[in-house]
Chain A
């Protein structure tokens, strides 16, 4: 895993390099947008941790260049602006996630991992969480390498949940994932599917748990 940190504060840059190297593999640090462009042109990165305020401009201006690269690196914005408008601007520009400063080290690493996990699917087609592997191309699930049969709709629900692991997947997102536009949806259909899915996963000793959140939806927690 290669990570590029674009951060002009030397002390913070050094810390990010050490921490992300330990957690994810190898990390390089550059201090401005020019150096960042030079770095990504010679070396593919899995993740770019990008500061907003850099000496030669706003980190947002780099996002479109990064997302055009093949393979496309994940983009995690670091920002001192926690204004919802600024956050929305960064996400709209194509950032995969944002972490407001000051951040908790564990949260930064967890979010960096989540971004990489989401993008890994694009390349290898397999989502991994806990001891569960979800092959998005073959539409199959295995736990500790043992395949377990899961019906089509439950598979769709599981995929939606894995893609938002650790965060709530809203009921309407799940409905959209499992049903087409024309399907009649019974009010408790999603709950019934999830209930069966949870039983299957528990029976197979899966380390991930699906937790209901009343009025919101479900959250998948890696064990």
Chain B
């Protein structure tokens, strides 16, 4: 099946998952932004950056060599101050409030909130952590995020909030990518299954509108209208062909039977031959027209059985011509995919040709070989010049032929319809071998 344009369902799934992801992210940042920062977030981030920048000198006193993150925080908050205390000593940065600076740096400390009337504000935070074996106390103050900074910071905080958020976003995207296309495709597939059941032979069949999702109803309706038009056209075509068959064949029959009254045997023979040739031309033209107008149902059939039955039908004609007819390839079935009726018409035409060209007393052999080749071998006069392509053209005739020149064109048409091929060879010892190759059946 052709791959076509990118899947609408996949696109819908991607869009849906992007929307879901964006919604989750927006909601989160909105929550943070609305909540704002009372200083806790900024000072926590600062303390962490400080801790990451921390080392000790030989005496065990803390040394802060600011990382790029701490530098960034310093730049963002000009008022930021901190005091780092270990057993070995203390270091500080910024404008440390006197209460902290003058207090006992080694004594336990507390985080202080100040009440500004409508909100509590964390003036300074005290964080006790470890640096190797030592306990370190970091006291931070003078920093608070604006709402936007708070939102960005929460996303940067890989350890804390971002991971579950990202996990939810990714899970949502994955679920959407797999389930949405399936959900959207299911009703489409149902409609296409119904369409699949429509074949060349089922007249008046329509797709059920009730089964189609609302979005596909206009398409299904349009498809049904197209089927309607095709039905009307093919009915008209069939009527035309049947009228043409009747209108052409009835007068031909009248003329043929009338010729029985012609007294002069030479004249009668020649006129009868003309009428017979005209009749064959009419038959072939009608067959070609029918093959062109119908799109026959392709199905799996046994080439051996079909060709053997067609050969058997031509036994009376062979007996009348004094030609032996034989079939080889009995036994195992050879399955091919195609239109059995059309295939039988093609083989029948080859047989008629062969019987016409075979000399009396000689034989015509029909053979089926796996995986799907039919050979019609005669021992007649042979092609006698003319290329295969020329022979397959309508109204092309071999020099020795008194046929219509349509038989092989019809065969070529049938084989083209099957995606198969026609080949012509000289039969060893004289005569013509025509082989038709069908494509093997899909098992």
Query: A103–B255 Cα gap in the complex (Å)?
Result: 11
Residues of A within 8 A of B286 (CB): 82
Are the CB atoms of A102 and B311 closer together than 8 Å?
Answer: no
A96 to chain B, nearest CB (A): 16
Are the CB atoms of B328 and A215 closer together than 8 Å?
Answer: yes
B400 to chain A, nearest CB (A): 23
Among the listed A16, A84, A216, which residue makes an inter-chain contact with B344, where contact means beta carbons less than 8 Å apart?
Answer: A84
Q: Does B326 contact A (CB under 8 A)?
A: yes
Among the listed A53, A80, A103, A216, which residue makes an inter-chain contact with B311, where contact means beta carbons less than 8 Å apart?
Answer: A216
B155 to chain A, nearest CB (A): 73
B299 to chain A, nearest CB (A): 15
B-contact 0/1 string along A57-85, CB 8 Å cutoff: 00000000000000000000000111111
Residues of A within 8 A of B325 (CB): 213, 216
Among the listed A81, A216, A217, which residue makes an inter-chain contact with B245, where contact means beta carbons less than 8 Å apart?
Answer: A81
Residues of A within 8 A of B316 (CB): 166-167
* A contact face: mostly helix, strand, loop, or mixed: mixed
Are the CB atoms of A11 and B254 closer together than 8 Å?
Answer: yes
A27 to chain B, nearest CB (A): 14
Query: A12–B287 Cα gap in the complex (Å)?
Result: 25
Q: Does B79 contact A (CB under 8 A)?
A: no
B321 to chain A, nearest CB (A): 13
Look across to chain A and name the residue whose beta carbon is closest to the beta carbon of B246: A80
The number of residues on chain B lying at the interface, defined by a beta carbon within 8 Å of a beta carbon of chain A, is 38
Are the CB atoms of B290 and A215 closer together than 8 Å?
Answer: no
Residues of B within 8 A of A15 (CB): 254, 257-258, 260
Q: Does B27 contact A (CB under 8 A)?
A: no
Give the tally of cross-chain contacts (CB within 8 A). Answer: 92
The number of residues on chain A lying at the interface, defined by a beta carbon within 8 Å of a beta carbon of chain B, is 31
Are the CB atoms of A215 and B327 closer together than 8 Å?
Answer: yes
A-contact 0/1 string along B246-260, CB 8 Å cutoff: 101110111111101
Query: A83–B296 Cα gap in the complex (Å)?
Result: 13
Q: Does A126 contact B (CB under 8 A)?
A: no
Q: Does A101 contact B (CB under 8 A)?
A: yes
Known: A11-B258, A12-B254. A216 touches B242 (CB 8 A): no
Are the CB atoms of B341 and A12 closer together than 8 Å?
Answer: no
Are the CB atoms of B258 and A166 closer together than 8 Å?
Answer: no
Query: A16–B290 Cα gap in the complex (Å)?
Result: 30
Known: A80-B250, A221-B319. A85 touches B327 (CB 8 A): no
Known: A102-B249, A105-B257. A81 touches B242 (CB 8 A): yes
Are the CB atoms of A219 and B315 closer together than 8 Å?
Answer: yes
Among the listed A19, A53, A84, A105, which residue makes an inter-chain contact with B341, where contact means beta carbons less than 8 Å apart?
Answer: A84
B363 to chain A, nearest CB (A): 9
B390 to chain A, nearest CB (A): 28
Residues of B within 8 A of A104 (CB): 256, 276
Are the CB atoms of B326 and A216 closer together than 8 Å?
Answer: yes
B254 to chain A, nearest CB (A): 5
Q: Does A214 contact B (CB under 8 A)?
A: yes
Are the CB atoms of A102 and B328 closer together than 8 Å?
Answer: no
Are the CB atoms of B327 and A216 closer together than 8 Å?
Answer: yes
Q: Does B329 contact A (CB under 8 A)?
A: yes
* Cβ < 8 Å to A, chain B residues 245-295: 245-246, 248-250, 252-258, 260, 275-276, 279, 283, 286-287, 290
Q: Does B312 contact A (CB under 8 A)?
A: yes
Look across to chain B and name the residue whose beta carbon is closest to the beta carbon of A99: B253
Q: Does A170 contact B (CB under 8 A)?
A: yes
Known: A12-B257, A101-B253. A168 touches B275 (CB 8 A): no
B-contact 0/1 string along A24-60, CB 8 Å cutoff: 0000000000000000000000000000010000000
Are the CB atoms of A213 and B315 closer together than 8 Å?
Answer: yes
Q: Does A9 contact B (CB under 8 A)?
A: yes
Residues of A within 8 A of B246 (CB): 53, 80-81
Query: A217–B148 Cα gap in the complex (Å)?
Result: 95
Closest 9 CB pairs of A and B: A215-B327, A214-B326, A80-B249, A102-B253, A15-B257, A168-B315, A102-B252, A101-B249, A80-B246
Could you jot down 12 A-B contacts, CB within 8 Å?
Answer: A11-B254, A11-B257, A12-B257, A15-B260, A82-B245, A82-B286, A102-B256, A167-B315, A213-B324, A215-B327, A215-B329, A216-B311
